[in-house]
Structure 1
Amino acid sequence: MNKLLPSVKSLITLAAVLCFMFQAQAAQAQKVSLSVRNATIKAAIERLQKDYGYSFVIKTKNADLNKTITLNVKDEEIGAVVEKMFVGQRVASSVEGKMIAIMSAPAKEDPAARASANAVVKGVVRDNAGAAITGATVIVDGTTIGTTTDLDGSFSVRIGARTNVRLIVSYLGLKTREVQVDDPARFYEIRLENDDMALDEVVVVGYGT
């Protein structure tokens, strides 16, 4: 008989936990009715406290309790009603039993801003004949951000959210060129011309015994 006692106690504990969970879920899903016209959110909260025994905890400065609202709902879940009360405000709500917490809403990530922050300019550098130039230098003007072209003359430079970007493209024996980046998504084909003056300045010195 004594061997059965631990099992009985375990079952009683489990039943109590399940009962508590069901009660909490029932409270969270409890349906309420609320009708206010040109009333402040604070007044609506007081109605819910008086009629249904809810307690509100405000954890953010984004909640404007003095904002006037007009609301007429019947037999709706308390969570949905609270969302309607604070519609248009940067807040989120959480319902735990009879406790309702109002907190700051998580910041929404702007896909366009994210793409802009990760903007990368791509292109290829060629000479006048159209041949790819390997080892050409591509630098974002006014910064130390840059790269060199690969075997195919291709380059990729991250410019982030910068605007009015210019690329300085150079290679020994060719004229340096400045390229305005109007659209980071565009593929830039950059041609460098021969620099005859630079070639004239090259001096070849031979050493021998």
Structure 2
Amino acid sequence: MTALHAFRDEADVLGHVASRWTEEQWTRPTRCAPWSVRELFAHVRVALAWLPGMLDAPAPAVADISAAAYYRPDHRFSPAADVARIRRAQEHARGLDVRDFRGFTAGLADRCAAEPPGRMVRTRHGDAMLLDDFLATRVVELAVHGLDLADAVDQPAWLTPSAADVVLRLLFGRPAAELPGPPDQLLRQATGRAPRGTELDRLGLTPLTLS
């Protein structure tokens, strides 16, 4: 599955399930303290909303950062960056309207689909990346925080097969079908959302620094 396909699938299902949450569910705390469900959802939307500006900007000549390297533990995960990330999500949560999420993400996917093969972009952190690799990082955001949101609202995980393949390939170099156990449980273990099994090192886990 391509990153664009996975992005489209995972964003659409998140928008669908979120449209059915009650006001009480939106106010619940999440494991991503201090964010509520509404604030974490707003964080995900913000993480996707960088795309149009990146596509409007001039493309770099060479891509020098992979999807896995994007999650390296540098200044983007510093205490100051975390504070800014938290505040940004809280600000966006105040005007959040979940009803536009599916249309918003479908529009992003359509715009990315119109880009030529090998399109490169520069992230807000200054990384030069292939658009496909950056889309893979957006699938990580959708999939991992999708688990956080599902747990907070007491729903089963909705991880889509296409997103599972993209994220597990990034973490283990192999698609979900070649890995043991349910994909959502493996993703939970690999990202510290469940006790880590001894098999993760044997499977060749590539750790990611996540917000």
Answer yes or no: same fold by TM over 0.5: no
Higher RCO (C-alpha under 8 Å, 6+ residues apart): 2
Please tell me whether Structure 1 or Structure 2 has the larger radius of gyration of its CA atoms. 1
Query: Normalized per residue, which structure has more strand?
Result: 1
TM-score by length of 2: 0.17
Query: Normalized per residue, which structure has more helix?
Result: 2
TM-score by length of 1: 0.17
